[in-house]
Structure 1
Amino acid sequence: MPATTVVVVTWRGAAHLTDCLDALAAQDRPHRTLVVDNASDDGSARLLAEHPSRPEVLRLPRNAGYAGGLAAALSAVDTEYVAWLNDDAAPQPGWLAALEDAMRPGVAAVASRLEYPDGSAQSLGVRLTADGHGADLLSTGEPFGFCGGAALLRTDVLRAEGSVPAGFFCYYEDTDTAWRLRLAGWDVVVAPDAVARHRHGASTRPGSALFHRWNERNRLLMLVRCAPAIVAARELARFAAITVLLPLRRDVPAAANFRAGLRVRVLAETAARLPAALWARAGIGRRASVRRGVLWRRWAGR
Structure 2
Amino acid sequence: MDEAEVSTTVVVVTWRGAAHITACLDALAAQNRPHRTLVVDNASDDGTASLLAGHEVLRLPRNAGYAGALAEALSVVDTPFMAWLNDDAMPAPDWLSTLEDALVTTPEAAAMGSLMELPDGTPQSLGVRLTADGHGSDLTEPAQDVFGFCGGAVLLRTDTLREIGGVPADFFCYYEDTDTAWRLRLSGWDIRQAPGARVVHHHGASTKPGSPLFHRWNERNRLLMLLRCAPARVALRELVKFAILTAVLPFRGEPAPPNFRLFLRCHVLTEVVTRLPAALRARQCITARAVLGRGEVWDAWAAG
Provide TM-score, normalisation by structure 2.
0.97
CA shift at 1:250, angstroms? 1.8
Q: Which residue of 2 aligns with 1:191?
A: 194
- Written as runs of structure 1 = structure 2, the 5 A alignment for 1:222-261 is 222-253=225-256, 255-261=257-263
- From 215, 218, 223, give the equivalent of 1:215: 218
Q: Is the contact between residue 246 and residue 252 of structure 1 (CA under 8 Å) also seen in structure 2?
A: no
Distance in 2, Cα, partners of 1:55 & 1:197: 22
Alpha-carbon distance change, 252 to 230 in structure 1, aligned in 2, over 3 angstroms:
farther
Distance in 2, Cα, partners of 1:190 & 1:292: 23
> More deviation in 167-176 or 134-143?
134-143
CA shift at 1:252, angstroms? 4.2
Distance in 2, Cα, partners of 1:82 & 1:112: 14
Q: Which residue of 2 aligns with 1:272?
A: 274
Query: Secondary structure, in 3 states, of the residue corresponding to 1:35?
Result: strand
CA shift at 1:10, angstroms? 0.1
- Written as runs of structure 1 = structure 2, the 5 A alignment for 1:14-163 is 14-49=18-53, 54-103=54-103, 104-140=106-142, 141-163=144-166
Distance in 1, Cα, partners of 2:204 & 2:122: 16
Query: Secondary structure, in 3 states, of the residue corresponding to 1:102?
Result: helix
Q: Which residue of 2 aligns with 1:165?
A: 168
Query: Secondary structure, in 3 states, of the residue corresponding to 1:192?
Result: strand
Q: Is the contact between residue 252 and residue 258 of structure 1 (CA under 8 Å) also seen in structure 2?
A: no
Identity fraction in percent: 68
CA shift at 1:251, angstroms? 2.9
Q: Which residue of 1 aligns with 2:288?
A: 286
Query: Secondary structure, in 3 states, of the residue corresponding to 1:216?
Result: helix
Segments of 5+ residues of structure 2 without an aligned counterpart are none
Distance in 1, Cα, partners of 2:73 & 2:145: 28
What are the superposed Cα offsets for residues 94-153 of structure 1, whole Å, 9 maximum, x if unpaired? 100111111121110011000000111000111000000000011222210000000000
Following TM superposition, the consecutive aligned residue runs of length 4 or more in structure 1 with deviations greater than 4 angstroms are: none
Query: Secondary structure, in 3 states, of the residue corresponding to 1:143?
Result: coil
What are the superposed Cα offsets for residues 74-101 of structure 1, whole Å, 9 maximum, x if unpaired? 0110000000000000000010011111
Distance in 2, Cα, partners of 1:275 & 1:138: 36
What letter corresponds to residue 89 of structure 1 in structure 2? A
Q: Is the contact between residue 178 and residue 188 of structure 1 (CA under 8 Å) also seen in structure 2?
A: yes
What are the superposed Cα offsets for residues 223-261 of structure 1, whole Å, 9 maximum, x if unpaired? 0000000000000000000000011112343x2111101
Distance in 2, Cα, partners of 1:76 & 1:285: 26
What letter corresponds to residue 20 of structure 2 in structure 1? H
Q: Is the contact between residue 217 and residue 267 of structure 1 (CA under 8 Å) also seen in structure 2?
A: yes
Distance in 2, Cα, partners of 1:148 & 1:252: 33
Distance in 1, Cα, partners of 2:19 & 2:152: 17
**C-alpha RMSD of the superposition:** 0.8
Provide TM-score, normalisation by structure 1.
0.97
Distance in 2, Cα, partners of 1:256 & 1:238: 17
Distance in 2, Cα, partners of 1:85 & 1:270: 28
CA shift at 1:211, angstroms? 0.4
Distance in 1, Cα, partners of 2:255 & 2:282: 35
What letter corresponds to residue 59 of structure 1 in structure 2? R
Distance in 2, Cα, partners of 1:118 & 1:153: 28
CA shift at 1:70, angstroms? 0.2
CA shift at 1:55, angstroms? 2.2
Distance in 2, Cα, partners of 1:40 & 1:116: 25
